[in-house]
Amino acid sequence: MKTKGTNSFSARRIGAVAAIAFALVATLLPSAFAAGEAFGTACTVEGASTGTSNTSLVCKAGSNGKLTWQRVRLASAYGAPAPALRAPKGSIEFHHWRGAEDGATFDKIIALFEARNPGAKIKQVVMPSGDYTNLGYSKIRTNEKAAVFATFRGSQFVQFAKGDMMTDLTAERFTRQNVIANGLIPGRYEGKQLGIPLHYLFNNPVYNTEIFAKEKWELPKNFTGLLNWCKAAKAAGYTPLAWSGGFRPNAGQMLNSMLMNSAPNYATLEKRIEDIDTGKADLQTAWFKDMAGRYKQMADAKCFPDNATGVTDAAAINLFATGKSPVIPTGSFQMGAIKTVNPAMTGKMQLFSLITTDEKPQYVGIQNNTFILSVNKNASTTDQKIARAFISFMLTGEIASIYANGTSQHVNVLDATYTNQDLINTSVWQSKKTLLAPRFLWLNQGVRDLMEDALIAIVGGKPIDATLEDYSKQIKQKLS
Amino acid sequence: MASSPLKKFSGAARPSFKKRHSIQGSKKALYWMSLPALSLYVFLFLMPVLNNLRYALTKWDGIEEPEFVGLDNFKKLATDDDLATKVLGNNIEFMFWVVIFQTGFALLFATYLVKNTRTTLFFRTLFFFPTILSSVSVAMIWLFLYDPNYGAINTTFKKIGLDSFALNWLGSENSALYAIIFVQVWFHTGQMMVIYIAGLQQIPAELYEAANVDGASRWQQFKSVTWPMALPTSAVVVAYTTIQSFRAFDLVYATTQGGPNNETSILTTMIFQTAFNEFRFGYAASQSIIMVIMIFLITGLQKRILRTRY
């Protein structure tokens, strides 16, 4: 028996080693060869990667300072992505704001979830984003059936967290093994992972590659270049930036790029924003005034549409989608809406680096991890289990791919495969040096609104000093 | 109470014991019958109002326990909130122009369309049509029309050579409030016209016949017959329009969200912003009390001006 056991153990061990070796070869080689890169060979762009699977290679500096392709752990723990959890029978609601953009794709995903979890039912409850920001908290708080919900990064997530509305997902396998670790930060509060950001999006402006090629324009590499490009684009009959100054939520997206290289480092930027947010500093502070001045310079260089403060979001999308404007300064999240207006835009969009310094930029783009999925703490135990199962389902490569390709959104999930042409085109940005969108460091929505209104007013032609003084006073009164 | 069923029981002769017992039973039954409506009123109206009064005296973020601050919110509103002062001014201006134009146009249209003919019915339907649309749809329609670069209004002005009339309607601090006032008047005039038509149709035809016999012109007839007889209706229309002007939240929110530079913010948008965007529920409660007081004061004043009871 003993001999047999030993033999059996050895056989199993050999089998296991062979299986691991085969798995490594089968997973590492295709990804490496497919990308034309090989483990350990030299590379040139730090941060570049062959993808976002757990077998991807990343260009990284070794101890000798040389850049080589290395395999790094993208998730916060080792191990292959975990499969979806099983859901018990029951019905829950899924609350979010992306009905127009994602509703149909979520319908498909929910149908798949229900087919694989017989007896579990999920109903989408959707509100427009503005209403969701304002009323989401009160509606979900009083609805135990709203077992799974999404929040915006920043003030809304913090509001839900402070209200003790979310269960802790820190220990879940899907949190540790299925999600890109860096992208988890916005869903963390006081050391607990209270939500999983699904989106990995870029709040860089989007540009029309066809127009740039036709006009033989080069992408501006610094602020002077940007101003010159605006003048050239205007002279050629275009509206350089399709900026929607009449719709604050999207007008404010450009603020991310404006802030991107405005501070010597991220910690300083964070501190500066926190000071304004809490009233320790006002808008007349030198760095903010300098940034406001850049908005003015851009307005003077005719970067913005005529009557910019009256341009709605729909008008801005139309300007871009119909080729009247080569750049829309919001982000990749609008590519779906642009293609709805003009399907011919498919494959013609790429991300634009809006650099507002003439020195060497620290960052070339903005990344944001939002649409944070959480489980409602007030839901029943069974409903929480269904909610967890649904989140785990969303975080599998298969389902995340369906979501990403159906909605033109990059996702924060390992093993997601992009087949959508615009996602493939812009995937390279996942390996560039991007900054986590600083606009959402303002946690006081009232302060952020006034600050953004001040910048809109400056673009509209108001004098910088008087405008910043006026709005600083309003912020002070709001915080007192 | 004059037509109350209890009236017949209040005669001089004292009813018998049996009858008295039956009266008391009926009274009790009546009280019980009012209970469902009363409880709805208490739970859905009185309690929220009392709660609002309570919260107005607190600092409350909607999450943690409210902190009692006495009259601090009202003090701040009166002395240290430029935005609230500006918004109150906006709302009064908004109400003033809406009441003037909406009432004026409604009365004008009603005067011409009071008779029931096919043509008047057609025009009544036409003018009433915007009322059946939702506020958000109306806002979307006008957002497209008002677009400063591609909207139908500015395109038309430019085509006929009136470029100076092509404004940044909703994006300029000088025109945004008036652009929304125009939409509000367009949206609700038809509704007020219908109320006026109902009122004007109650005016006895003999009065007009007598005026005709006396040789009164149309203007004299309007001044001496229509207007005085329509005063009670006007009072209702003006009061309703005033309240409507204070409640024009959806139209403002869907068009400008109160911008630019809070030039189109009215009290309801400010209260919403304060409560649901900034999570200052206590302060928002105090703002809402001020709004209710404003409505009472203004409608009271209107009542005096129109010298009528309604």
pLDDT tens for A323-367 read 999 999 998 888 888 998 999 998 899 999 999 999 999 999 999
- The answer to whether the pTM exceeds 0.90 is no
Alpha-carbon distance A476 to A470, whole Å? 10
Residue with tokens 């912003």: B273
What DSSP character marks residue A219?
Answer: P
**Strand intervals (E) in A264-400:** 327-328, 349-351, 365-368, 372-375
Angle, CA A83 vertex, CA A81 and CA A85 arms, to 5°: 135
Spatial neighbors of A272 by CB under 8 A, at least 6 apart, are: A263, A281, A285, A287, A288
> Mutate which of B60, B63, B250 to disrupt the A interface (most A C-beta within 10 Å)?
B63
Alpha-carbon distance A326 to A209, whole Å? 8
Alpha-carbon distance B266 to A170, whole Å? 44
Token reading at B225: 């017959």
Residue B146, pLDDT score: 96
**Neighbour-count burial of A209, counting CB atoms closer than 10 A to its CB (0-12 exposed, 13-18 middle, 19+ buried):** middle
Q: Pick the more confident residue, A12 or B53.
A: B53
Question: How many CB atoms are located within 10 Å of the residue A111 CB?
Answer: 11
Spatial neighbors of B112 by CB under 8 A, at least 6 apart, are: B120
Measure in Å the smallest separation between the Cα of B128 and chain A Cα atoms.
Answer: 28
B72-305 — its CATH code? 1.10.3720.10
- Residue A202, phi then psi, degrees to nearest 5: -120, 125
Continuous segment of H or E residues that includes residue A207:
strand A206-208
Measure in Å the smallest separation between the Cα of B124 and chain A Cα atoms.
Answer: 33
Alpha-carbon distance B259 to B276, whole Å? 17
Domain ranges of chain B: 72-305
| B 91-150: CB under 8 A from A | 143-144, 146-150
For residues B11-22, average pLDDT: 67
Q: How many helices (H) and strands (E) does chain A have?
A: 18, 15
- Residue A120, phi then psi, degrees to nearest 5: -95, 135
Alpha-carbon distance A341 to B270, whole Å? 34
Residue in A with minimal Cα distance to B151: A315
Measure in Å the smallest separation between the Cα of B56 and chain A Cα atoms.
Answer: 16
| Cα→Cα distances B236→A183, A204, B193, B239, Å | 59, 54, 12, 5
Residue B86, pLDDT score: 94
- Set of chain A residues whose Cβ sits within 8 Å of the Cβ of B272: 134
CB contact under 8 A, A309 and B273: no
For residues B154-179, average pLDDT: 94
**Sheet with A201-202, edge to edge strand ranges:** A201-202, A365-368, A434-436
Cα separation of the two ends of chain B: 18
Of A327, A333, A317, A334, the closest CA to residue A353 belongs to A327
Residue B308, pLDDT score: 56
Please state whether beta strands A327-328 and A365-368 pair in parallel, antiparallel, or not at all (unpaired): unpaired
For residues B67-83, average pLDDT: 94
Please state whether beta strands A365-368 and A120-126 pair in parallel, antiparallel, or not at all (unpaired): unpaired
pLDDT tens for B221-269 read 999 999 999 999 999 999 999 999 998 999 999 999 898 989 999 999 9
Token reading at A192: 């607990």
pLDDT tens for B203-222 read 999 999 999 999 999 899 99
**Neighbour-count burial of A202, counting CB atoms closer than 10 A to its CB (0-12 exposed, 13-18 middle, 19+ buried):** buried
- Set of chain B residues whose Cβ sits within 8 Å of the Cβ of A307: 148-149, 168, 171-172
A90-200+371-412 and A206-367+438-479 agree in CATH topology = yes
Question: How many CB atoms are located within 10 Å of the residue A142 CB?
Answer: 9
Predicted ipTM > 0.90:
no
Continuous segment of H or E residues that includes residue A330:
none
- Set of chain A residues whose Cβ sits within 8 Å of the Cβ of B270: none
Q: Which CATH superfamily is domain A206-367+438-479 in?
A: Periplasmic binding protein-like II (3.40.190.10)
Of A227, A207, A367, the closest CA to residue A294 belongs to A227
List, in sequence order, every residue forming a beta bridge with B58; answer none if it has no partner. B68
Question: What 3-state DSSP class applies to A215?
Answer: helix
Alpha-carbon distance B268 to B253, whole Å? 10
Of A443, A346, A448, the closest CA to residue A152 belongs to A443
Give average pLDDT by consecutive 10-residue segment, chain A, 480 residues. Answer: 43 52 41 58 75 76 82 76 96 94 94 97 92 88 95 91 95 94 91 95 92 96 97 97 91 94 93 96 97 97 95 94 96 87 92 93 91 97 98 96 92 90 82 88 92 95 96 92
Domain ranges of chain A: 33-72, 90-200+371-412, 206-367+438-479
Alpha-carbon distance B142 to A451, whole Å? 27
Question: What 3-state DSSP class applies to A124?
Answer: strand
What DSSP character marks residue A171?
Answer: T
Residue A10, pLDDT score: 53
- Set of chain B residues whose Cβ sits within 8 Å of the Cβ of A163: 63
**Neighbour-count burial of A15, counting CB atoms closer than 10 A to its CB (0-12 exposed, 13-18 middle, 19+ buried):** exposed
Q: Is B273 on the interface with A (CB under 8 A)?
A: yes
Token reading at A150: 């999404």
List, in sequence order, every residue forming a beta bridge with A57; answer none if it has no partner. A71
Q: Is B165 on the interface with A (CB under 8 A)?
A: no
Alpha-carbon distance A305 to A91, whole Å? 48
Of B252, B138, B115, the closest CA to residue B188 belongs to B138
Question: What would the 3-class secondary structure string for chain B be?
Answer: CCCCHHHHHCCCCCCCHHHHHHHHHHHHHHHHHHHHHHHHHHHHHHHHHHHHHHHCCEECCCCCCCEECCCHHHHHHHHCCHHHHHHHHHHHHHHHHHHHHHHHHHHHHHHHHCCCCHHHHHHHHHHHHHHHCCHHHHHHHHHHHHCCCCCHHHHHHHHCCCHHHCCCCCCCCCCHHHHHHHHHHHHHHHHHHHHHHHHHCCCCHHHHHHHHHCCCCHHHHHHHHHHHHHHHHHHHHHHHHHHHHHCCHHHHHHHCCCCCCCCCCCHHHHHHHHHHHCCCHHHHHHHHHHHHHHHHHHHHHHHHHCCCCC
Residue B31, pLDDT score: 85
- Is the predicted pLDDT of residue B1 greater than 60, yes or no? no
Cα separation of the two ends of chain A: 81
Residue A69, pLDDT score: 84
Nearest-by-Cβ selection for B83 from A310, A460, A474: A474
Residue A62, pLDDT score: 81
- Residue A363, phi then psi, degrees to nearest 5: -125, 150
> Mutate which of B143, B145, B149 to disrupt the A interface (most A C-beta within 10 Å)?
B149
Spatial neighbors of A251 by CB under 8 A, at least 6 apart, are: A243, A244, A245, A452, A456
Q: Could you say which of 3.40.50.10470, 3.50.50.60, 3.30.300.30, 3.40.190.10 is the CATH number of the domain covering A90-200+371-412? A: 3.40.190.10
Nearest-by-Cβ selection for B80 from A311, A314, A480: A480
- Is the predicted pLDDT of residue B194 greater than 90, yes or no? yes
For residues B271-276, average pLDDT: 91
